[in-house]
Structure 1
């Protein structure tokens, strides 16, 4: 039925990028055969970064589901181009207008970098994410609210925030925090309290297991709180240790590819990965040769 259609439009499995663990939930609205427009996604990006997306097309109909499918696909394509979060939302907004302005959507698009331990977030009218720190403190992140996708002519802005190791970021749709029994900000505060209470059970040095945390969050819903479908995406920030990353700045000269091969070989030896030397040298040589051909300033090479 409608619920099955919805599920076919969501990721079957989440990726397993280095430096972050992911979990998700989708819950259809209670007592309804109507299909919803909620979605979530996690998209691996270059440099071990990952894009985290959650969105909600307004309304419950086949049209909402179809638009959700198109926006999700577009977001994946834009992520593949490695555009900044605010530009992704700008392009989604343009697409929503082409599809017809009566269908607005909210969306939150974030990019986590496990090397810098930072996250960049842009928002289009979506409820703010909640960050559970390793010590057990839960905070609602201060993200510019932005206008929903489909309004048109709006500038989106991104904020860059710390993403501390051991922290857990929760992205969700409004069905989790808003119902006819409670307004959205009351619901967000209840969610924040629920995360902090769950963390207290495992103690300050051990973050709650991710799957169990998702279940705990859904347990806070009462029988009257299921007016809308709910999508949930949780990300546990493990980060990547500086010792597992090698950075170099190479002058755009003919000698750069050879220099890059030598540096890569040394890094692999340091990590005990000599068996990868041949293939990595080949890739590094190719990448640096192309970069140097078009570069007018030093080229950055990063191995991790």
Structure 2
């Protein structure tokens, strides 16, 4: 993974390179309706690591959790705490917990690690289907929200107390974004220096991103039709330009997310009654939808996998079984959800055994598959390339 310093890029070697590869992602996972870029600049150039982190975690329903955090201190000790908190954040997000609950559990873990392990964190869960963005904040600096029409503002969920303080209740702010909006999440090392406070630095960052993108000034908004914000990579570079203007003695991390959204025509969702007819109904819906999408070559494999998953879900579910399809670029994703929280386990059935072959069949036809607990149950998903 690349580490940015004041002297340019350096790949690092030895301990620094190893720690960096272990603790921070070299590449964030692809997500539907979302493009990201990131940078990390350690204050301790000797080790090349620190306590700041960033992440983008895929969640059920095509959503993505965007996270930035800042453990107090620098160097390997802070990096070790950061690694534990980042791993916990990933696990909790994949369990489909809302941001307020993720921060609550992080707070509990930080307290178990012992005194002095304080951290700030900002978490945003983005749904490309609806444009909804749920944010919760544990003492972190606000995000910058770049609107598709050229406007820009600081996005301020209630700040809360840092993780590790204990005894605090976190709050959630919900906003609705539009395709073309951008979120810029940073740690205080990006905006705070010896010469300026965090608030002043945030305003300077917001203003500089707008100017560098050619957005019209406040009195001339909204922008003319056709205006687009630069790519996440270009916005990352613009943010670094503001950072390099003054002395810096803190780690700095930033995560830029272009919120492209998912057109309604690329999604389909149904609720099925959990009875003996659920699987055949699911096959009909898949066959019809993939035909309309021009993905007939994926229809047989998708119907087979969906039939197995829906059959298993209907066997144990008490409420509706949900079926979700999303077509992306070169990829089809399917999710089957039910209200039974027990995760499926692949078994190797005997040749004459009637049940137990469902996940084995899914793994044969799918490019990727997995499962996770969700609120009120679980979701089993698979993807097909094509």
TM-score, with length taken from structure 2:
0.74
Q: 1:4 aligned to 2:56? A: no
Instruction: Give the match's secondary structure for 1:59.
Output: strand
Which residue is equivalent to 1:17?
31
Q: Which structure would you say has the larger Rg?
A: 2
For residue 153 of structure 1, the aligned residue among 148, 167, 185 is 167
| 1:212-291 matches, cutoff 5 A | 212-291=234-313
Change (3 A) 1:170 1:129: same
Contact 2:140 2:187 in 1 (8 A): yes
Which residue is equivalent to 1:182?
196
Contact 1:3 1:28 in 2 (8 A): no
Instruction: Give the match's secondary structure for 2:35.
Output: strand
Instruction: Give the match's secondary structure for 2:56.
Output: strand
For residue 138 of structure 1, the aligned residue among 148, 152, 155 is 152
Deviates more, 1:26-35 or 1:103-112: 26-35
For residue 129 of structure 2, the aligned residue among 115, 123, 129 is 115
Contact 1:121 1:143 in 2 (8 A): yes
Change (3 A) 1:81 1:262: same
Distance 2:230 2:245 in 1: 25
| 1:60-71 matches, cutoff 5 A | 60-71=74-85
Flag the structure with higher strand content: 2
| 1:55-94 matches, cutoff 5 A | 55-94=69-108
| Structure 1 residues not aligned, in runs of 5+ | none
Q: 1:197 aligned to 2:211? A: yes
Distance 1:153 1:133 in 2: 35
Contact 1:54 1:171 in 2 (8 A): yes
Contact 2:129 2:263 in 1 (8 A): yes
Flag the structure with higher helix content: 1
Deviates more, 1:265-274 or 1:39-48: 39-48
| Structure 2 residues not aligned, in runs of 5+ | 1-13, 217-222, 327-386
RMSD: 2.0
Q: Which has the higher contact order (CA 8 A, sep 6+)?
A: 1
Deviates more, 1:51-60 or 1:280-289: 280-289
Contact 1:5 1:35 in 2 (8 A): no
Distance 1:278 1:86 in 2: 41
Contact 1:114 1:240 in 2 (8 A): yes
Q: 1:167 aligned to 2:181? A: yes
Shift of residue 29, structure 1, vs aligned partner: 2.2
Distance 2:15 2:150 in 1: 38
Q: 1:206 aligned to 2:228? A: yes
Instruction: Give the match's secondary structure for 1:194.
Output: helix
Q: What is the count of residue pairs matched by the alignment?
A: 304
Change (3 A) 1:172 1:115: same
